[in-house]
Amino acid sequence: MIAPLHATPLRAPRPAGRSGKRRHRVSLLGSLTLGVALAACPAAVAQDDGDDPADAPRAAVEAGRGAAWAKIEQDVEKNLKEVLRAPGGLDAAARTFITEKAVPQLANEANRGMLDRIRRRVREIFLAGITDDRTFDDASKAIADAALAVVRDPDASIPARVNAMLLVGDLRGKDGKEGTVWPGAVASLAAVAADADVDTGVRVAAMAGLARHADAARRAGGDKLNDFAKAARPAVLAVAVQPADPLRPAASDWLSARALALVTSVTKSASKEFAAALVKLMNDPARSLDVRVRAAAALGATATAKSEIQAAEAVGSITELALAVVEADEGILRDRRYEQGLAGGTSGGGTPASSASKMVSMQITAPGMAGGPAAPVVPQLVPDQALRRTAWRLAALADAILDEEGKTGVAALLSGEDQENSKAYADLYREQALAIDAARTDDALLAAVAMIRPEEELPVAADAPAVKPAATAPESDPFGGK
């Protein structure tokens, strides 16, 4: 941690050697998928291989698989199709059929291998084609209530409960178009996402549904965004700064990261307590880099004078975090060089970071062209996806310090030389993010390491190691952690 800027002005970073005024954005790293998060909760996604040997013999299970649900569809077609589309509200018999017969099929072990199909068919047979607003809302509520009963049923399997929660989040608007949502689901999704007593896989499913609603609310804006913010705010803010689950750290980090991404959808200014929690989370070396970067981004987007943060110290923390981000990939490069050395291969993977501040990526020339014979292609050691992720993180940290318009970011709370020096760091991170995203090479990464790492940390001896090891070895984290 550097000293507060008002005590010791933050030294501006070394000049980047190129214009930092290009107003381009790093292409956004693809958002984390629900499937990856649920993969951290294996029981949550098991559908076909979850039969317990103590259950009924497999032959009997297979014989009954799908039969109960087929009967549901037949009964709807025969007795309820017209009733479901009648105006004036949902018929009592139809409501009972939905809540007591249809949706509970998610908890039927004979349906374990077709839960995703049942989720889709529930929406299709009970909601598609309804034109009356009241009937549609009544039917949607009946489905959501029945699904939540499965979620809260301790006797239901984890796959059944996860899929029931996904069903609530899947509910769409009356037109049934992709990207639309049923607003009545927000309160239930938020309640489950924030409930620490609920299985983590179920909470992941709830948070995924809440994210869908946030996307729809942002697109709509106005009252819809206000309504979403009011309903989801307590849950989002609580989950964003929740402690990590030691039993399922990757899944709990996914929850926090996703909630942190929703912070700006539910609040424009961080309270003193929430801002302090974000600072603590950003500085916690035990949390994944993804969570820490998103905490910094949320802090930069919502911190105001009323948040009462130590802005200078926060800038110092973000600069340390930026170094940790590039050093994580540098650690990948170092490890793979070592593996290649053991295997007898060439080291490859770029030039040393200690001399990379003035380097450019190697130019490969075709035979017969000016410049001599073709240079051998250097093996790319850091994965392309990792480099894109690093570019996004650096861009996010740049905005956390000060956005390109100079309107938001923790440095917006500073003035004078402190703000100017902080802006220099933001410009540096933004430029290195663009460079890494454009090239996605080991050399581009090492150039960023050399530019971001303080000069006093660079090797000075002629025989010093070419690459400084990262502070900690990267974890096996599917969500882009350390």
Indicate whether 159 pLDDT > 70. yes
Q: How far is it, in rounded angstroms, from Cα 351 to Cα 275?
A: 40
Q: Note whether 321 and 281 are within 8 A (CB).
A: no
Domain boundaries, the chain: 41-247, 313-457
Does 12 have pLDDT greater than 70?
no
Q: At 379, list the tokens.
A: 């093996």
- For the chain, give the mean pLDDT: 82
What value does the mean pLDDT take over residues 208-214? 97
Alpha-carbon gap, residue 340 to 246, rounded angstroms: 34
- Is residue 103 within 8 Å of residue 147, measured between CB atoms? yes
pLDDT at 455: 75
In this prediction, residues 97-107 reach a mean pLDDT of 96
pLDDT at 470: 39
DSSP codes joined into one string, 60-113:
HHHHHTTHHHHHHHHHIIIIIHHHHT-SSS--HHHHHHIIIIIGGGGG-GGGGG
Per-residue confidence at 4, pLDDT binned at 50, 70, 90? very low
pLDDT higher at 378 or 140:
140
How far apart CA 397 and CA 301 sit, in angstroms, is: 11
CA 392 to chain centre: 12
Task: Give the SS3 label for residue 5.
Answer: coil
Residue type, 330: E
Percent of the chain, pLDDT > 70? 73
72 pLDDT higher than 90: yes
- pTM here is 0.77
24, pLDDT greater than 50: no
Top-confidence residue, 264 or 382? 264
Of the candidate ranges 80-94, 285-299, 357-371, 422-436, the one whose mean pLDDT is the lowest: 357-371
Question: What's the token pair of residue 199?
Answer: 């299985």
Q: How far apart are the first and last CA of the chain?
A: 19
Each residue's pLDDT tens digit, 444-458: 999 999 999 987 554
Alpha-carbon dihedral sign for residues 177, 182, 183, 188: negative
User: Is the pLDDT assigned to residue 29 strictly greater than 70?
Assistant: no
Q: What is the DSSP letter of 76?
A: I
The CA distance from 122 to 106, in Å, is 10
pLDDT of res. 471: 40
